[in-house]
């Protein structure tokens, strides 16, 4: 399982600090790096926390989760699920994320099999999943993500292999920022999964699947 910290017995103020750090990390247009600052929110004051109307929520989480690593993953899993505000966050999003991570390799294999089938059906090469024919079009791999056929974790693994987000962000016309929003989420999520990614294993999965469907 992912380990980002070994600290324990986290105080409510520090829970708020981790929450702030995770939100800033994923904020589009921001430059804050939660890893660089050890998941500590910037310029936070205890008196501000004491006056925070959501203080009880952080106190409750401090009682429920004693390890910093669990709190980091709890907040991160909720943010990538779209639950940005503290009162929208829940244990279900965290549990679902844990289940996805525990079956990461299995899911990646299954989702790449589906992606290869879609590519074959539509006459796409592997590269064309990431490079649409029309520069204003959302890439096919992102459409699969929008359709919940490919998970965010699989997009991260693929970006770890190919670094395709850089090309998508540079070359696509994206006035609605649909593709750039997904790319941003991938880039910010990637360091959380670094310990779980095996380049050779995942590369082999992609090569085997896309070679077999192209025959």
Contact, 98 vs 136, CB < 8 A?
Answer: no
Instruction: Count the neighbouring beta carbons within 10 Å of the beta carbon of residue 167.
Output: 14
Residue 156 has pLDDT above 70, yes or no: yes
Rounded Cα–Cα distance for residues 131 and 207 (Å) = 18
Going along the chain, which residue ranges are E strands? none
Six-digit token string for 167: 């090309």
Which SS3 state, helix, strand or coil, does residue 23 take?
helix
Q: What is the pLDDT of residue 110?
A: 97
- Candidates 204, 211, 189; CA nearest to 108 is 204
Q: What is the pLDDT of residue 134?
A: 85
In terms of phi and psi (left: phi > 0; alpha: psi -120 to 50; beta: otherwise), the region of 151 is beta
Query: Across the chain, what does the average pLDDT equal?
Result: 94
Which SS3 state, helix, strand or coil, does residue 43 take?
coil
Q: What is the pLDDT of residue 213?
A: 55
Average pLDDT over residues 111-124: 93
Six-digit token string for 57: 């929520």
Q: What is the pLDDT of residue 111?
A: 97
Six-digit token string for 186: 């991938």
Global confidence as pTM: 0.94
Percent of the chain at pLDDT > 70 equals 98
Contact, 52 vs 44, CB < 8 A?
Answer: no
Average pLDDT over residues 97-118: 96
In terms of phi and psi (left: phi > 0; alpha: psi -120 to 50; beta: otherwise), the region of 82 is left
Q: What is the pLDDT of residue 64?
A: 97
Residue 75 has pLDDT above 80, yes or no: yes
Q: What is the pLDDT of residue 212?
A: 62
Instruction: Count the neighbouring beta carbons within 10 Å of the beta carbon of residue 157.
Output: 29
Structure confidence by residue, pLDDT tens digits, 7-32: 999 999 999 999 999 999 999 999 99
């Amino acid at each position: 399982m992912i380990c980002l910290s070994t600290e324990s017995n986290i105080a409510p103020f520090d829970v708020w600090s981790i929450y702030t750090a995770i939100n800033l990390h994923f904020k589009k247009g921001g430059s804050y790096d939660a890893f660089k600052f050890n998941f500590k929110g910037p310029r936070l004051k205890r008196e501000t926390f004491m006056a925070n109307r959501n203080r009880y929520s952080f106190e409750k989480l401090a009682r429920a989760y004693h390890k910093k690593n669990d709190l980091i993953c709890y907040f991160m899993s909720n943010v990538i699920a779209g639950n940005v505000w503290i009162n929208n966050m829940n244990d279900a999003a965290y549990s679902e994320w844990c289940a996805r991570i525990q079956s990461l390799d299995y899911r990646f294999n299954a989702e790449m099999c589906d992606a290869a089938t879609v590519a074959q059906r539509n006459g796409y090469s592997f590269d064309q999943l990431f490079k649409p024919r029309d520069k204003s079009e959302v890439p096919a791999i992102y459409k699969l993500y929008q359709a919940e056929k490919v998970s965010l974790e699989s997009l991260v693994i693929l970006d770890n292999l190919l670094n395709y987000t850089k090309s998508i962000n540079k070359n696509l016309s994206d006035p609605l920022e649909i593709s750039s929003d997904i790319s941003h989420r991938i880039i910010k999520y990637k360091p959380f999964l670094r310990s779980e990614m095996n380049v050779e294993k995942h590369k082999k999965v992609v090569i085997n699947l896309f070679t077999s469907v192209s025959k």
